[in-house]
Structure 1
């Protein structure tokens, strides 16, 4: 075994007792070369043990931890492997050119590479297991994410289901394997800095934003990008955390969802275009890159912030149409189709997927009427001459009513309509007095993003009223209503 000390003169080693001075000097030179190579990659071992075994060591970034590893061989061909777990940097150094090696030396080099590969894989497995345990501990200790988190606010996205926040304010995004097991975490700090758990496995990892099951799957790089895609389309999104990981996740998604439409949403930069194209080929999917009519950006969150969710939605839908094409049916095919009836939320005035507007002068009871409709739909009951065929999940968004007045009116309605207790859970309310912040402006992307997480599973939304909940633009201009619509 040969060693080299980092500081001061090297001590006399066993090597000096058994080898000529010239050979000893050559080996010490190699050890110093190895030390320089490790230093260039951020590793700072106290001494280099050139025994062919894997050794952990500190790094420049974490001098008290052991987030680096190396394997060193001095016998010709002298070989060094290193890995810096903090930067995910690893590589191999050989002191001789391969073409200068004899047949025996080349055989020894191949055997050495096999040994390094085996030890490296064993070390990776150990580190992945340790990081997964740490990830579970941090995840269990974290809390529900604040909707007002600085990173989310800057990106114009809500605190979607499935993410958490640590006590120091760091966002935690779970990195899941194909079986939905937690293998690592991505930390996003309030200033936007992103870090993964040291030693955690990211390859083939993904975070999934669940969308409507009948809609396509989008695959993208970053969490904020995925949130914008989901908000604009309602699609399920697989976040891969890096461009290099996109092809692996795309292939895995295609294997799991053989008949599903998959859209690869790449970043519009060199690596995004390259890996996005590779992912599209592996998944037999369509690649779409964001295009900007104004401003500069690279991903779909940039497009969301610069041009709005409608621009994101339009480009995604165009990509989907390009993949599948428009469908034209001849009259005989169309007439022979079994098209299910859309049905009603409240028959015969409110069809499923319909829009209704209640208009009346101020002070004649619009809120009381709207509440009556909401209670009827939520309970599967009747109001006026209209009946709800079955109970439906309803969200009532109130923009101006005092909470006490709303409570009084709703209590009277529930008592007068004989609502069954189990139906009370079907109606949820957002009312200004009980919010930690101002009511969202639903004519803006940020306002829509605030309400989006509350729409999961909701069949009907009541907005009371348009004037107080949609405050951007001019009320009498049709263009001002496009974002809201």
Structure 2
């Protein structure tokens, strides 16, 4: 047996799953071990198994759906490589069975807890601080608020624990992805928000049913589950505005979720000064009153939602003739589809890059005026070559593209695949 290098394994693991808390004593050859992947000691979403010979390992994160592997040596014969890949496959299958059993056990335990715990007191410290009602949340013997995690069929998959001071954690092995807690009954509409307090606030302000996804990363999965359950219902995503966090994950993830289900998006707008941690509709309510929440969310609810891709026929006599609105005068009309057709090597890709850059920067196209706007460029070729072409355009025209609204995909796109086309711009 070749002794494994625990430091090497831990470094490989933490590169793929940042925030992991794992120590060498968890690395036991031939056995699965669980560990935290979010920096919290109570979390057990991570798993790892060192192979009995110490030459490899599989690991992953149940919450983030990450799977990885490690090996002590790369030089293997074709037969050894095949055997090693089979070892990985078997270990991942074993991990899936173990994790599935753990989640089922969590479901059972949380269901038992639901049947025994009383409803939360309206005087609970967290509820009073957030100025909300319990809405079906329960309370344990330690004074913690318990919010149960449901699937679309009503099955309980676990629960979230909210302590009186507001700190939160999920019970071990809670299956959160695509699962939620709902306040109220949908009547033609359902709203979706991140946290319990935010969801409760929006429900109290509007009277509408609100699903709580628990965090921004789960908004997309829950939105898709709700769309599958309610094909014709109007879905409104109520985002957090993480204005002090790089990339603003609250708005980014909410926007992705809304696009994925043809939903609407409501973002809290603060009229006065707000603190760094004032990010959601509950914060808005505490600063400006519940009427401000009601007005902002209902304004979005009352918007006319775009039809969901229904093909329609219109009598010719009902079509109104409109003046041409040029994107590039004489070449590309707004709202039209255009094709650049030519022999291989005739410069079609260079023309597309030229058009994209000129529209994004509002630069005239060889004497023709250009209406500036955002551009999405779906890469059908290598990104590296494409990057060189955009860079060359910027140098040739002495125009900086760094802040221009031109967005380039990181891979070719299958436009019939909803998962691929629901990314953010």
Provide the TM-score with structure 2 as the length reference. 0.61
Deviations 1:369-393 (A, max 9, x none): xxxxxxxxxxxxxxxxxxxxxxxxx
Count residues in correspondence: 292
Query: 8 Å contact 1:30–1:74 — kept in the other structure?
Result: no
Match for residue 275 of structure 1 among 230, 239, 253: 253
1:209 aligned partner: 183
Q: How much does 1:44 deviate? A: 4.0
Change beyond 3 A, Cα 1:310–1:55: same
Cα offset for 1:79? 2.9
1:35 and 1:48 in contact (8 A); partners too: no
1:144 matched to which residue of 2?
Answer: 119
Ranges in structure 2 where 5+ consecutive residues have no aligned partner? 243-247, 307-425
Q: Distance in 2 between matches of 1:73 and 1:282?
A: 40
Q: Does 1:50 align with 2:29?
A: yes
Q: CA RMSD in A?
A: 3.2
1:168 aligns with 2:142: yes
Looking at secondary structure, tell me which structure has more helix per residue. 1
Correspondence for 1:302 among 253, 260, 283:
283
| SS class of match (1:322) | coil
Hey, what's the Cα distance between the residues in 2 that align with 1:259 and 1:174?
A: 26
Q: Distance in 1 between matches of 2:219 and 2:128?
A: 26
1:202-249, Cα deviation, whole Å (9 max, x unpaired): 1111101014x4352101111000001001100000111111111111
Partner of 2:218: 245
Match of 1:287 in 2: 265
Between 230-239 and 134-143, the greater mean CA deviation after superposition: 134-143
State the Cα deviation string for residues 18-50 of structure 1 (Å, max 9, x = none).
Answer: xxxxxxxxx325356336767983234647443
Are the equivalent residues in 1 in contact too, given 2:152–2:229 (CA < 8 A)?
no
Q: Which residue of structure 1 aligns with residue 303 of structure 2? A: 322
Displacement, 1:90? 6.0
Structure 2: distance between partners of 1:244 and 1:58: 21
**What does 1:322-401 align with in structure 2 at a 5 Å threshold?**
322-324=303-305
- How far residue 263 of structure 1 moved from its aligned partner, in angstroms, is 0.4
Structure 2 Cα separation of the partners of residues 67 and 317 of structure 1: 38
Match of 1:156? 131
Residues in 1 aligned to 2:234 and 2:40: alpha-carbon distance in whole angstroms: 44
User: Aligned in 2, Cα 1:66/1:272: closer, same or farther, shift over 3 Å?
Assistant: closer
Distance 2:234 2:147 in 1: 25
> Mean Cα displacement is larger for which, 279-288 or 179-188?
279-288
Matching residue of 1:345: none
Q: In 1, are the aligned partners of 2:4 and 2:72 still within 8 Å (CA)?
A: no
CA contact (8 A) 2:58 2:88 kept: no
String of CA shifts for 1:382-424, please: whole Å, max 9, x gaps.
xxxxxxxxxxxxxxxxxxxxxxxxxxxxxxxxxxxxxxxxxxx
